[in-house]
A and B are shown apart, each in its own frame.
Chain A
Amino acid sequence: MSENLTAVVNDALTANSSDNLLEIKNLKKYFPITAGLLRRTVGHVKAVDDVSFTLKAGETLGIVGESGCGKSTMGRMVMRVLEPTDGSIIFDGQDITKLEGKELRRIRPKFQMVFQDPYASLNPKMAVEEIIAEPLVVNKAATRKQAIERVSHLLERVGLRGEDRLRYPHEFSGGQRQRIGIARALALNPKLIVADEAVSALDVSIQSQILNLMVDLKKEFNLSYIFISHNLAVVRHISDRVGVMYLGHLVEFSGKADLYNHPLHPYTEALLSAAPEPKRENRRERIILQGDVPSPANPPKGCPFHTRCPKVMDVCRSQRPALREVSPGHLVACHLY
């Protein structure tokens, strides 16, 4: 019930505001495959191939796809920790694709990341206070006293106690560590947070706590999220719009309700049919895909999904379908539509 309501509210919000926080245009990342003594390039792994989408301010965009589909690579390019091969990233009206050094560091506070592994993402040698205050210290955004106050405030906002700032990461559980990671991401009041599998490493009971925390924080801090996950239920819970990736391509992109209730792309259909559904009447017929995901180093010609598609046609084998809007707000890359 409340889910439907927020969807309606969000639709209304996004309809009114035309300003996009983030625009991704034809983003590509090809990793070279080298061989021999001279490291000759003999091919490319096309991790992300020609992906475009927009993110409106205040929106949560979910990106789903199986392992190796390029969703994390895309998230890291948006965060500018990985150089795109081609394409552009326009953040808050500014093209940040080519920013370097000091200029890049100046804009970094506006987009932050929450990592997958709450154990690897916190430096075990640093106290929580140092970890959360690092963005403030690096950007000279606060005096020592202000930084301590800010850290205590943030810890309380994420559901820990201000006194916990003097403890070390090893004294916290996985869920608590993830809260610390979120507090660090919030330290500089970012506009965008990319959460790359942010709850995948946590127990199911803790996952919902962290998701709800993120929903609460979004309102409080006026955040936008790109939520990357392989977990359809998690993405459904938190997202306003959802993009489905397959083999480096965005194959379907739509509002949440539309995508989950009326999936268009055969891959999305298969993906949704594989997700466990508690209500018997809601269960779909299980679509079992044949074969494996092709290697991104040697992707099939035409539609990337044609090798496994149950509805494959001749045209699919030769021509790659473009991502087109087939109904308002519902984009799909498939020759069927």
Chain B
Amino acid sequence: MSTNISTTTEAGVTVRAGRPSKSPTRMALERFMYNKMAIASSVILLLIVIMSLAAPLLTHQSPTVQDLAHTDAPPGNGHLLGTDTSGMDLFARDLYGGRIDLLIGFMDMLIVMVISMVLGGVAGYYGGWVDSVVMRVCDFMFNFPFLLLIIILSAILNSTSVWVLIGVIGLTAWPGMTRLIRGLFLNLRDSEFVLASKMAGAGPMRIIFRHMIPSVMGTLVVQATFLFAGLIASEAALAVIGFGVTPPTPSWGDVLSNAMGYFQLATEPYAWVPPAALITITILCINFIGDGLRDAFDPSFQV
């Protein structure tokens, strides 16, 4: 048997010289830029965010001042979309309401991601009894009646401020994400490149921050966007059943729930169509962005 087959025959033949090498992150960004739906959604979402933040520039009406001369009024008298039964300007409430919805969605997404990364990360990396404890707490939280907690809290506090609502949603919404991250870490822990890093003498910190988190980042970003959309929906759902932020603080869900009477639904579309449309469009846009990110982070997806 000849032991001298040249070991250089394979050497770099298939790797062409001169072509700049693209990092996986750069390639993901390029794939995202090719996705028209995701780009359009990003633009629309950005407009909605700007609209909410720049609300004072778009209307002179206050979202919380009651115009008692024109309650439950149709559009006119300086009220672009009329007023609700308390005489508050609907257009202003729609604009300012976006701030609350986006704030709740975004803050809760952050809270949930941080809790899940820490708990899920620890459970997945260390495994064993640590994993068992975290997962049992997760199981408990999964079955915890979230609605009951909100009802009890609003009864005790006699009001639900935005921050209380953010806190309650944030502290009850994390088990799903925690499980997901724990699963990802558990898989990675036994992967060969993590083993190779361990063989090189790397400690847990280096393995978690240099190998594991970068590897799951794509999935996490995608899941975070879907979570964001889901949280906005749950704010709206809570408001509709009467456990959202306390009036007169404006939120889309609150505006919508105030226009949910049979009479209003039939005769005052200007009251409920805008908030419903805003909620729907925002959630749709975020989901499309999430889809775009998922495809972008999937290396097998070619443009």
Contact = CB atoms under 8 A, between A and B. Distances in A.
Contacts of A179: 10
Interface in A153-191: 158-161, 163-164, 166-168, 170-173, 175-176, 179, 181, 184, 187-188
Contact of B15 (A122, A164, A188): A164
**Overall SS of chain B's interface:** loop
Interface string A117-149: 100111111010000001100110000000000
A237 interface: yes
Contacts of B7: 158-159, 209, 212-213, 216
A120 B9 contact: no
A120 B191 CA distance: 7
Interface core residue of A106, A121, A123, A209 (most chain B CB under 10 Å): A123
A172 B15 CA distance: 7
A289 B79 CA distance: 90
A320 B238 CA distance: 70
Interface string B156-195: 0000000000000000000000000000000000011101
Contact of B5 (A135, A175, A209): A209
B299 A170 contact: yes
A108 B200 CA distance: 7
B195 A115 contact: yes
A124 B10 contact: no
A79 B196 CA distance: 11
B203 A125 contact: no
Interface core residue of B4, B5, B7, B199 (most chain A CB under 10 Å): B199
Contact of A212 (B3, B22, B196, B214): B3
B23 A127 contact: yes
B248 interface: no
A116 B193 CA distance: 11
Interface core residue of B24, B25, B211, B214 (most chain A CB under 10 Å): B24
A168 B24 contact: yes
B12 A161 contact: yes
Contact of B200 (A3, A139, A167): A139
B31 to A, nearest CB: 13
A123 B193 contact: yes
A121 B196 contact: yes
Given A127-B21, A166-B21, A160 B11 contact: yes
Contacts of B10: 159, 173, 175-176, 179, 206, 209
Which size class do B's interface residues fall under?
35 or more
B197 interface: yes
Nearest to A105: B201
A163 B21 CA distance: 11
Given A168-B21, A212-B4, A216-B7, A160 B12 contact: yes
A35 interface: no
Interface string A319-335: 00000000000000000
A151 interface: no
A38 to B, nearest CB: 11
Contact of A135 (B4, B21, B201): B201
B200 A159 contact: no
Interface core residue of B4, B8, B12, B197 (most chain A CB under 10 Å): B12
A159 B23 contact: no
Contacts of A237: 1
A174 to B, nearest CB: 10
B14 interface: yes
B3 to A, nearest CB: 6
Contacts of B17: 163
A16 interface: no
Interface in B13-30: 14-15, 17, 21-25
Nearest to B206: A138
Given A2-B1, A113-B196, A134-B196, 12 more contacts: A3-B3, A81-B198, A121-B196, A124-B215, A134-B197, A135-B201, A138-B202, A164-B12, A167-B21, A168-B21, A209-B10, A215-B3
12 contacts: A2-B3, A79-B199, A121-B195, A123-B215, A125-B215, A127-B23, A134-B200, A134-B202, A135-B199, A159-B11, A166-B21, A168-B24
Interface of A: 2-3, 79, 81, 105-106, 108-109, 112-113, 115-117, 120-125, 127, 134-135, 138-139, 158-161, 163-164, 166-168, 170-173, 175-176, 179, 181, 184, 187-188, 206, 208-209, 212-213, 215-216, 237
